[in-house]
Amino acid sequence: MTEARFLAGPLGSEVERALRRLAAAPDVVHLAVMPDVHLAEEVCVGVAMATTRLVYPAAVGGDIGCGMAAIRFDGEAARLRDRAALLSGLRERVPRGRHRRADFCPWPDDLDPERLSTPTLGALARGDGRAQLGTLGSGNHFIELQVDGDGALWLMLHSGSRAIGPAVRSHHARGLVGLDGDEAAAYVGDMEWALAYAEANRRALLARACDAVSAALGAAPVDDSLITCVHNHVCRQQHGGRALWVHRKGAMPAAAGQPGVVPGSMGTSSYHVEGRGNPEALASSAHGAGRAMSRSEARRRISPRELVRQMGEVTWDARRAALLRDEAPGAYKDIQRVMRAQSSLVRIVRRLDPLLSYKAT
């Protein structure tokens, strides 16, 4: 087993133990640790791992297909004067949690619930899957309006597979378990379904968010500026002359020239990047700033007033400060240090600064 680390600072003892446990798991042949690495259930967020035969659902995690989308508008950010009105428009067009039946999004033709491996998963897809398609999840999922160095206005969003991803992960394995043969094939099939669902969810969210921006500013999204990427998945790839199962949990694919989006935290800068294809990193990079505090620690240490202070001039719903303390900028690592630590993994294309943040709780 080989290992490569691209760190933004020292690791805590619990993270070190989790990484050692993962490195010692059967059939793990390479482990790449990203600068946004932090503790999570069974497998740390911010790792890319390769196996020859076994597939580990825990090394993908529950939010299968979680990823980013970013798109530029044809108007300048300076036109965004009434940010409060736009935030209200986003709340109206992009619901949190789930839709009422009358507001369900059109169901994509390629998402046949019968393709899932069990009737239970199929029923979940037909129920919660339909109700949640085009809705914003909680935690670190968000929609943000940003300005780049040329004054252009960008929209960025972060979302995943909602209820279906955790259900797929729990159905196939609990704990750090490697699957082989038919079990692995069944998991991969369901995971690919969840990947497609997550992409459909991002498309629906993007369309509704773009409608809100267009209604407020009269600006249109520029289709060929769209950037998308996924950071929770497993796929078969060639590395070092052999076929491997590459697992990424909170790690973004970063093949040479591949575009990507690396968000900071609520209230801090984000980056558009191109991959460098670093083989030691399994052609991967950090997927964001990464947590510096657990959610419970952040809720203990960061007050609503402190969150308001940290957000500065960014427009957001400060009435919900008590519920968003665990998403405060101070609960995350310094995105600048993360980007410096992964200079051999990606090339920065542009930096973006936040203007408005819309989050669910």
Place of tokens 């042949």: 29
* Sheet with 270-275, side-by-side order of all strands: 227-230, 67-76, 152-159, 142-148, 346-359, 270-275, 259-262
End-to-end C-alpha distance for the chain, whole angstroms:
40
In sequence order, what are the residues at sequence separation of 6 or more whose Cβ sits closer than 8 angstroms to the Cβ of residue 361?
96, 138, 320, 323, 324
Would you say 331 and 293 are in contact if contact means Cβ atoms under 8 Å apart? yes
- CA dist., res. 28 & res. 1, Å (int): 7
Token digits of residue 20: 């050692």
Select which of 171, 172, 247, 287 is catalytic: 287
> Half-sphere exposure of 101 toward its Cβ, with a 13 Å CA cutoff?
2
Q: Is 287 marked active-site?
A: yes
Q: What distance lies between CA 171 and its chain's CA centroid?
A: 22
3-state secondary structure of 192: helix
Q: Residue 257: left if φ>0, alpha if ψ -120 to 50, beta else—which one?
A: left
Q: Name the pairing type of β-strands 227-230 and 2-5.
A: unpaired
Report in angstroms the alpha-carbon separations of 140 from 64, 133, 344. 14, 18, 26
Which amino acid type is present at position 282? L
- CA dist., res. 149 & res. 260, Å (int): 18
**Which residues are catalytically annotated?**
287
